Structure 1
């Protein structure tokens, strides 16, 4: 961490494996749904927990327990201690990459101490993005065994803020999946399409996952929409667009934030910015929507792309918010109900990397991150640190109520100021409206 971002001291770095002879050698071939993430950035998650204890207590009481409990857990979730294994170039089109575990494989567990203000970090107001980077671990570099390239897929960091709190940082390669992978059926052409990409055909030990880098004047903030506010926004939208049959809370939250982000960008850079198009992208869960339903125990990637596109002038105008909600709702409905289903995945590549302002979504309010308990009760705050890689937002159920939406975003400081002003003003205007 930089001087301005606080001081981070490594207490210990160790490798944790499942107990000997509890897993054996296992491998899980990646599906197309996993391979689409091979070129993506890692996922960085950060949990904040109350921990009013000394560093000495942490070292002597907590660290040994965490090591042992993690080892025991890994025997049941061995992919996390595995490596993404890529076969030689000449075999690459015939054999998909695999999540492979061999006896002795391990993940890196780091223990650290930080002198930043724990209470400030876990609040909702704008905070320097760089302060969070040192609290999530990087993935280890790839290595080669015989003619196989092996890429670590998971790492953990536990950081103590003495007498105050603890953070648990989790980093995973987005292609991580589980033993139910081959329950998914889809055309072989999709595998070949991705394996033929130059970046994947030439994948070797020089491959390196993207890392968080310091960015000047960029801040992260958390925006909460309560159930009452969401209901008010729904009424507003349905007055403006009475033909809409159904509007979800997710579409309301995403549409509202999308329109405010676009307005804040125009406010900062002016209407003559580099682009005149705005896009919104999220993924829909396809587990129950494929021709062959996926078992409930499936743990890997199985999502389809939902994409909305509009002119900047439409989403930043007087009807920008209802327009955004309608576009988001339509994109989700079409992504979920598409009769083409997985076959449309052939177009994902060109859509995903189109260079226009795109607000993506990480997380889902359907899985409540505030129910995660590592032994210290419910987390006091959750942050998706990997938002720093792009213009994505995080959308989760709120800590206070699963019916509220907690939305995280990272923006340049001036744009964040504009976003806060615009979002508050628009919200107050709609709340004061009499229906």
Structure 2
């Protein structure tokens, strides 16, 4: 895609904000700590200044970004490595990066948005070869298209915000941009996770966390070097409401759920995705496979966290199985393995996990860096494993900056084998979208099993 960068600015908070170093929680410093992006597309609007510089829209976005960075001041700071793979936030009001760009294409040239492979140039670039403390924690790219439409891409450091927090920030920014007051102030207090405090118990008294172990390898391999080299392909596949309901019914009728609570959409559909991937990859029956599940712990703590808590509360857990069991047994078996993993996340699990991580000499091995520094270190969920992240309950649609809601939304580029995101359909009709990345050689077979096995 032909995109020309025209200007770049640092947008700082409009008013003085809290300054100084702030410790991060263990959950902020583990898992994905690079930037995660989302893209919104808007059609031509009478609200836009259609001059070559789009002066009004860019000014409105920069002004409202400057104002929203006051209550969300951590995002205007910078992260610093301190020691032993640990991070600290410097609230220094250095600001967010705002980039203006121009595309020679029209929005209709992008097609049906069934793939994110061509969207890299619409997402603000993060130069991870720079010192970590120089990287903005929020980057925005406003791209103007030939037809008069625009895209707004937002990249936010996952070390500062999970999906719920990132969309809280985005929604409030849009609210200020369209002239409305802030609705919900973020709750910024890392003490709820004992950030910066020493461990309460030695490692010998901490529970064992298998989630932090290395994921299974292919049976004939001792490392992932060759798998990294294989070409991947991305796609967005749709499930109708009827297909979703069919999968839920099949899961619940084929394997009785524990506690009598029926399997959710996520458990049913993700079980189907897991089985389809194993079939498409052609694994042997004795091949171990793992599915990484992200569980929001906000409501699982005692007492529950405030819904406006700003930070990372998502805990990664792992469901595992042998491929032979997964594909030979009914769908409900796969859903039951996912249910068991999710149910492990409770108050004791989260707090003991903090103690486990506080006792670690170095946190580096628990971090997915996606290419920070000179050595690429991606999460490598891929063959024979998957990660299916749920955006089903996130307010990802209806982001109105003052010129109407988006034409469509797309997750930012995701290029690692096994990365999947499950989203609600944009029309609110009960349909779901699966955004996934697989090795190119497996994609056609996955499509075949994904749809044919529903029947």
Q: Which position in structure 2 is the counterpart of 1:238?
A: 252
Q: For residues 33 and 132 of structure 1, what CA distance do their matches in structure 2 show?
A: 29
Q: Does 1:180 align with 2:156?
A: no
Q: Which position in structure 1 is the counterpart of 2:145?
A: 161
Q: For residues 114 and 217 of structure 1, what CA distance do their matches in structure 2 show?
A: 27
Q: Deviations over 1:16-75 (max 9, x none)?
A: 1112x43252543201111114x6442122222223678626523222222212112212
Tell me: CA distance 1:166–1:218, structure 2 relative to 1, closer, same or farther (3 Å): farther
Tell me: CA distance 1:413–1:97, structure 2 relative to 1, closer, same or farther (3 Å): closer
Q: For residues 137 and 392 of structure 2, what CA distance do their matches in structure 1 show?
A: 25
Q: Is the 8 A contact 1:280 1:358 kept in 2?
A: yes
Higher relative contact order (CA 8 A, sep 6+): 2
**Gap runs ≥5 in structure 2:** 162-186, 204-228, 358-362, 369-378
Residues paired across the two proteins, number: 383
Q: Is the 8 A contact 1:258 1:280 kept in 2?
A: yes
In the superposition, the TM-score normalised over structure 1's length comes to 0.76
Q: Does 1:47 align with 2:33?
A: no
Counterpart among 342, 352, 365 of residue 351 in structure 2 = 342
SS in 2 for 1:33: coil
Q: Does 1:65 align with 2:60?
A: yes
Tell me: CA distance 1:7–1:190, structure 2 relative to 1, closer, same or farther (3 Å): farther
**Gap runs ≥5 in structure 1:** 1-5, 194-214, 430-435
Cα RMSD for the two superposed structures: 3.5
Q: Which position in structure 2 is the counterpart of 1:220?
A: 234
Tell me: CA distance 1:381–1:410, structure 2 relative to 1, closer, same or farther (3 Å): farther
SS in 2 for 1:335: coil
In the superposition, the TM-score normalised over structure 2's length comes to 0.73
1:306 shift after superposition: 2.2
Q: For residues 84 and 142 of structure 1, what CA distance do their matches in structure 2 show?
A: 15
Tell me: CA distance 1:183–1:11, structure 2 relative to 1, closer, same or farther (3 Å): same
Q: Which position in structure 2 is the counterpart of 1:81?
A: 76
Moved more, 297-306 or 387-396: 387-396
Q: Which position in structure 2 is the counterpart of 1:248?
A: 264
Q: Which position in structure 1 is the counterpart of 2:10?
A: 15
Tell me: CA distance 1:189–1:173, structure 2 relative to 1, closer, same or farther (3 Å): same
Tell me: CA distance 1:9–1:351, structure 2 relative to 1, closer, same or farther (3 Å): closer
SS in 1 for 2:51: helix
Q: Which position in structure 2 is the counterpart of 1:197?
A: none
Q: Is the 8 A contact 1:259 1:320 kept in 2?
A: no
Task: Summarize the alignment of residues 191-210 of structure 1 with structure 2, pairs less than 5 Å apart.
Answer: none
Q: Which position in structure 2 is the counterpart of 1:288?
A: 299
Tell me: CA distance 1:22–1:191, structure 2 relative to 1, closer, same or farther (3 Å): farther
1:291 shift after superposition: 4.1
Tell me: CA distance 1:191–1:325, structure 2 relative to 1, closer, same or farther (3 Å): same
